[in-house]
């Protein structure tokens, strides 16, 4: 059982997934910092409202619009990067790998009766006419 667990862990898919999660987490931290420290203050400067003032109250509840804006912009950036740098290239590679060369034809049409006959046939099985050998 321990050997099977080791095989499972060392299989390429599991290691790739682990690396992807670690890199994705690190990338998410960078994007969050970019949005929190640069983009949201820029939006606040454009509208003359600091991020801390981007909130409203309804009764005892406080809605933090600035924090929501941070999360929304971060999500959109991460989603766009994943789509354009991961999903599109993988879809292209999968599509490209599924293209197969068309196999050489195994039949051809008889010039007299237009029936399908084997490529190497010298006589049509349907109309019995002689046909030239395929080149």
pLDDT in tens, 4-62: 877 776 666 766 777 788 888 899 899 999 988 888 888 888 888 887 788 888 999 98
The pLDDT assigned to 101 comes to 65
* Residue that the structure tokens 């099977």 belong to: 4
Q: In this structure, how many other beta carbons lie within 10 angstroms of the beta carbon of residue 100?
A: 6
DSSP state of 55: E
* Residue that the structure tokens 């949201």 belong to: 40
- Under a CB-based contact definition with an 8 Å cutoff, are residues 14 and 8 in contact? yes
Q: Please, what is the average pLDDT of the chain?
A: 84
Task: Tokens for 7, please give them.
Answer: 């095989």
Domains of the chain are: 2-98 (1.10.1200.120), 103-135 (no CATH)
Task: Tokens for 134, please give them.
Answer: 């395929």
- Under a CB-based contact definition with an 8 Å cutoff, are residues 36 and 54 in contact? no
- Under a CB-based contact definition with an 8 Å cutoff, are residues 133 and 108 in contact? no
The pLDDT assigned to 31 comes to 92
Task: State the average pLDDT over residues 94-113.
Answer: 80
The pLDDT assigned to 4 comes to 82
Q: Which residues contact 113 (CB under 8 A, 6 or more apart)?
A: 124, 126, 127, 129
pLDDT at 110 exceeding the cut of 80: yes
d(CA 88, CA 76): 16
């Amino acid at each position: 059982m321990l050997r099977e667990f080791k095989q499972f862990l060392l299989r390429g898919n599991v290691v790739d997934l682990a690396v992807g999660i670690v890199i994705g987490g690190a990338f998410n931290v960078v994007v969050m910092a970019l949005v929190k420290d640069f983009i949201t203050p820029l939006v606040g400067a454009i509208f003359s409202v600091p991020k801390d003032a981007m909130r409203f109250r309804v009764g005892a509840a406080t809605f933090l619009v600035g924090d929501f804006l941070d999360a929304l912009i971060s999500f959109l950036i991460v989603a766009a990067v994943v789509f354009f740098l991961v999903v599109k290239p993988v879809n292209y590679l999968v599509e490209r790998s599924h293209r197969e060369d068309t196999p050489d034809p195994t039949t051809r049409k008889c010039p007299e009766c237009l029936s399908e006959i084997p490529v190497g046939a010298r006589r049509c099985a349907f109309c019995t006419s002689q046909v030239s050998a395929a080149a």
